[in-house]
Amino acid sequence: MRALAAAMFFAMLPAAMAATITVHVANIDPKGGELHVALYTEQQWPDNDAKPLVDSIVPAVAPQTTVVMKDVPPGTYGIKTFQDVNKNGEFDQNVIGLPLERYGFSRDARPFLSAPGFNKAKFSVPDGPIELIIHLQ
């Protein structure tokens, strides 16, 4: 009986130790399209081909779109986001690599010749809800 009670306790533990992140993304282009919001760990951050921990794609609605990420374990993360106006699933750039679509990072980290490092974009997620705002550039 004790083993069953312990198993039930540990089965419920992950749900109790999960957070909800509400991300408000401002400066949405009125042209619409889709908003891609991806949550990364420090290890995933520098790899542009890494699969994010959470990836949300929602309709982009000006002037601000809200995305809710549920069941995120407490920890330290960074968010990369972009508005995919033409809905091709890619962050479009011109031939020299300059962005053709609006983009942003958690803590409104600013890029300099490339995406900002994780330390500029990182934020802590406690056990419970958290709200962030990201302004697209």
120 within some domain: yes
CA torsion 8-53-21-90 (nearest 10°) is -150
Residue 53 belongs to some domain of the structure: yes
Is residue 125 in some structural domain?
A: yes
Instruction: For residue 128, tell me if it sits in a domain.
Output: yes
| Domain annotation covers residue 5 | no
> Is-contact 60 33, C-beta < 8 A?
yes
Q: Is residue 12 part of a domain?
A: no
> What local confidence, expressed as pLDDT, does residue 21 receive?
98
Q: Which range of residues forms the domain containing residue 72? A: 18-135
Nearest-angstrom CA–CA distance, 77 and 39: 7
- Give the per-residue pLDDT at 16: 55
On whether residue 55 sits in a domain, the answer given is: yes
Per the structure, the count of domains in the chain is 1
Q: What is the domain-level CATH number for residue 91?
A: 2.60.40
Q: What are phi and psi of 106, to 5 degrees?
A: -60, 155
Cβ-based neighbour number of residue 91 at 10 Å: 17
**Secondary structure of the chain in HEC code, one letter for each residue:** CHHHHHHHHHHHHHHHCCEEEEEEEECCCCCCCEEEEEEECCCCCCCCCCCCCEEEEEECCCCEEEEEEEEECCEEEEEEEEEECCCCCCCCECCCCCECCCEEEHHHCCCCCCCCCHHHHCEEECCCEEEEEEECC
pLDDT in tens, the chain (137 residues): 544 444 444 444 455 579 999 999 999 999 999 999 999 999 999 998 899 999 999 999 999 999 999 999 999 999 999 999 999 999 999 999 899 999 999 999 999 888 899 999 999 999 989 999 999 99
In a domain, 121, yes or no: yes
Looking at residue 48, what is its pLDDT? 84
Q: What pLDDT, on a 0 to 100 scale, did the predictor assign at position 100? A: 96
State residue 112's pLDDT score: 86
